[in-house]
Amino acid sequence: MTKTVTTTPYNDQKPGTSGLRKKVPVFQQKNYAENFIQSIFDSLDGFNGETLVIGGDGRYYNREVIQIAIKMAAANGFGRVLVGRGGILSTPAASNVIRKYKAFGGIVLSASHNPGGPTEDFGIKYNIGNGGPAPEKVTDAIYARTKTIDSYKIADVADINLDSEGSQDVEGMEVVVIDPVADYAELMEQLFDFGAIRRLLSSGFRIVFDAMSAVTGPYAKEILENRLGAAKGSVLNFIPLPDFGGHHPDPNLVHARALYEEMMGDNAPDFGAASDGDGDRNLIIGKGIFVTPSDSLAMLAANAQLAPGYSKGLAGIARSMPTSAAADRVAEKLGIGIYETPTGWKFFGNLMDAGLVTICGEESAGTGSNHVREKDGLWAVLLWLNILAVRQDSVQEIARQHWMIYGRNYYSRHDYEEVDSAAANGLVDALRAQLSTLPGKNFGALKVATADDFSYNDPVDKSVSNNQGIRILFEGGSRVVFRLSGTGTSGATLRVYIERYEPDSSRHDIDTQEALADLIAVADEIAGIKERTGRTEPSVIT
């Protein structure tokens, strides 16, 4: 039986950079998840009888919301739901399933790199038929609907068994529980030379992959250990836990510190990597060298043709605005297009669909390609391994040679987390107000070339996105960028992105924070970070 339940709107269901993210107790309010899911369905047209993909990163409250979503999909007229066994699908795997089975769209339950547990974070994201995050016009429509919603539809049935694969009927809709790993692993085998990677791994080349007790555990175990023959035990923390073992499943130098220390140690393996809560981010560390994500994007793009899936070369590269310009230099050398988009993977979808770009990346440890429409952590790991296998160089050698050819873009991001929202907004407003006065001004040896608030004109659908981050560009290619996070769930997070271009290879060995010290000081001088936030230093430096 299907029932229609009366409800009242919540006023805080505005999707951010990547879906709706809130604390679990917020989601546990009466009808909170139901309102948002019905608002998604109400904003879509023509899904009657179509397929919907549902999966999540296994965090706390995943199973409850999956039950609700399936029952609501049935009541709203979907013909079929594909759901990962145990409710598990990594974000890139969900994107692949949507594409492969020509689904109408998908619902991904995740708060990604944010912590999980009864008082931590949960999230709901809608992906469209190309497998990618819904573009702004869809998320705007969903938000508008959340403000007026007065009822939702749900099948009044017992909970669905999510733990055995196979097909079942829910009020006339078919629910198919699928293996969450199989389709994804098969796709990776098509893109990469598994034989070459297997030979590398059997030659004594040691890897370590930290799944951070999050969703990539089962994927990495199957692909790296079972199919590629990495030594048993190479994949750490491989069981997805609802609270990620109490850690932030964020693969950066703070939350993946132990991996970093190991890779810098005397007996370091040759290659270290980690992924985040929902499997779309990657951290790459070679023996004795951390590869900053912006550099990783550039190095992967420069060498991608060594992997079978990219042997014909790249159509173009896209990067988010705060990501360093290292990839631009590669695009220039390859003679292909380079696109600069706002933060968030949803802006890459149109470019990939139109065939303008093959590889995309963000400074926040996100890299991916047109094999799906999400960033993809394990994909980046496998592309690195494929390149290492073919080149027979170390990560260290690949990085140094890259900098020698292209110059080095020293890069760092400073995050000030849980800052008072009014103070953070005040800081950005004040920056905006002084933009026109900055060009031509000198700060020590640094001279401002241009300063603006980034606007993006999508070349494919011609949509315009304003206020995407304050950029201050200095002569010579250095810059600082300021923006507020759209994924946090308490207070505001100020992100300050700092970059310096260094063509001189005798200066490629400087400690990053040292190489950026004058820019860091100027960022504070211009924005008044210390004064306005009351913070003397960032909470996270990546």
Catalytic residues, by residue number, are: 112
List of E strands, 16-141: 20-23, 51-56, 80-88, 105-109, 121-127
Question: How many whole angstroms separate alpha carbon 294 and alpha carbon 372?
Answer: 20
Q: How far is the CB of 99 from ligand VG1 (least distance, A)?
A: 18
Nearer to ligand VG1, 252 or 320 (CB): 320
Instruction: Count Cβ atoms within 10 A of the Cβ of residue 414 and give its class: 0-12 exposed, 13-18 middle, 19 or more buried.
Output: buried
Question: How many whole angstroms separate alpha carbon 369 and alpha carbon 357?
Answer: 8
Query: Which of Co ion, ligand VG1, none lies near 384, with the C-beta cut-off 5 to 8 A by kind?
Result: none
Question: How many whole angstroms separate alpha carbon 240 and alpha carbon 364?
Answer: 22
Q: How far is the CB of 320 from ligand VG1 (least distance, A)?
A: 6
Per CB under 5 A, contacts with Co ion among 291-350 are none
The binder of Co ion chosen from 57, 280, 362, 499 (CB under 5 A): 280
The enclosing H or E element of 332 equals helix 326-334
Nearer to Co ion, 41 or 209 (CB): 209
Closest-by-Cβ residue to ligand VG1 is 112
Neighbouring C-alpha atoms within 13 Å toward the C-beta of 58 = 29
- The backbone torsions φ and ψ at residue 18, rounded to the nearest 5 degrees and listed phi first, read -145, 70
Q: Are 343 and 323 in contact (CB under 8 A)?
A: no
Q: Are 23 and 119 in contact (CB under 8 A)?
A: yes
Q: How far is the CB of 501 from ligand VG1 (least distance, A)?
A: 21
Question: How many whole angstroms separate alpha carbon 152 and alpha carbon 363?
Answer: 39
Q: How far is the CB of 123 from ligand VG1 (least distance, A)?
A: 8
Q: How far is the CB of 420 from ligand VG1 (least distance, A)?
A: 17
Q: Which of 153, 151, 157 is nearest to 1 (CA)?
A: 157
Query: Which of ligand VG1, Co ion, none lies near 542, with the C-beta cut-off 5 to 8 A by kind?
Result: none
Of the ranges 233-241, 267-275, 276-284, 336-344, which one interacts with Co ion (CB under 5 A)? 276-284
One symbol per residue from 26 to 65: x for binding Co ion (CB under 5 A), - otherwise; what is it?
----------------------------------------
The enclosing H or E element of 75 equals helix 62-76
Nearer to Co ion, 210 or 280 (CB): 280
Nearer to ligand VG1, 280 or 502 (CB): 280
Per CB under 5 A, contacts with Co ion among 61-120 are 112
Question: How many whole angstroms separate alpha carbon 279 and alpha carbon 376?
Answer: 7
Nearer to ligand VG1, 227 or 247 (CB): 247
Of the ranges 220-228, 229-237, 271-279, 294-302, which one interacts with Co ion (CB under 5 A)? 271-279
**Is residue 363 near Co ion by the rule CB under 5 A?**
no
Tokens at residue 315, please? 């159509």
Q: Are 93 and 178 in contact (CB under 8 A)?
A: no
Of the ranges 277-285, 294-302, 306-314, 533-541, which one interacts with Co ion (CB under 5 A)? 277-285
The binder of Co ion chosen from 193, 276, 362, 458 (CB under 5 A): 276
Number of residues that bind Co ion (CB under 5 A): 4
List interacting residues with ligand VG1 (CB under 6 A). 17-18, 112-113, 276, 280-281, 320, 343-345, 362, 364, 366, 485-487, 495
Question: How many whole angstroms separate alpha carbon 76 and alpha carbon 98?
Answer: 19
Instruction: Count Cβ atoms within 10 A of the Cβ of residue 189 and give its class: 0-12 exposed, 13-18 middle, 19 or more buried.
Output: middle
Q: Are 251 and 283 in contact (CB under 8 A)?
A: yes
Tokens at residue 161, please? 């068994």
Query: Which of ligand VG1, Co ion, none lies near 426, with the C-beta cut-off 5 to 8 A by kind?
Result: none
Nearer to Co ion, 193 or 276 (CB): 276
Of the ranges 62-70, 224-232, 270-278, 381-389, which one interacts with Co ion (CB under 5 A)? 270-278
Question: How many whole angstroms separate alpha carbon 312 and alpha carbon 328?
Answer: 20
Nearer to ligand VG1, 170 or 378 (CB): 378
Query: Which of Co ion, ligand VG1, none lies near 495, with the C-beta cut-off 5 to 8 A by kind?
Result: ligand VG1
Q: What are the angstrom distances between the C-alpha of 310 and each of 197, 304, 326, 465?
A: 16, 6, 20, 31
Q: Which of 93, 38, 33, 112 is nearest to 65 (CA)?
A: 33
Q: Which of 510, 542, 538, 539 is nearest to 524 (CA)?
A: 538
Q: How far is the CB of 508 from ligand VG1 (least distance, A)?
A: 26
The binder of Co ion chosen from 120, 262, 278, 415 (CB under 5 A): 278
Query: Which of ligand VG1, Co ion, none lies near 487, with the C-beta cut-off 5 to 8 A by kind?
Result: ligand VG1
Question: What counts of helices (H) and strands (E) characterise the chain?
Answer: 18, 27
Q: How far is the CB of 428 from ligand VG1 (least distance, A)?
A: 13
**Angle between helix 194-202 and helix 377-391 axes, rounded to 10 deg:** 70
Q: How far is the CB of 495 from Co ion (least distance, A)?
A: 16
Q: How far is the CB of 408 from ligand VG1 (least distance, A)?
A: 22
User: Which DSSP letter does residue 113 get?
Assistant: T
DSSP three-state, residue 189:
helix
Nearer to ligand VG1, 85 or 375 (CB): 375
Query: Which of ligand VG1, Co ion, none lies near 364, with the C-beta cut-off 5 to 8 A by kind?
Result: ligand VG1
**Is residue 275 near Co ion by the rule CB under 5 A?**
no
Query: Which of Co ion, ligand VG1, none lies near 130, with the C-beta cut-off 5 to 8 A by kind?
Result: none
Q: Which of 180, 52, 59 is nearest to 110 (CA)?
A: 59
Question: How many whole angstroms separate alpha carbon 511 and alpha carbon 443?
Answer: 22
Q: How far is the CB of 125 from ligand VG1 (least distance, A)?
A: 8
Nearer to ligand VG1, 234 or 350 (CB): 350
Q: Which of 168, 159, 55 is nearest to 105 (CA)?
A: 55
**Is residue 121 near Co ion by the rule CB under 5 A?**
no
Residues that bind Co ion (CB under 5 A): 112, 276, 278, 280
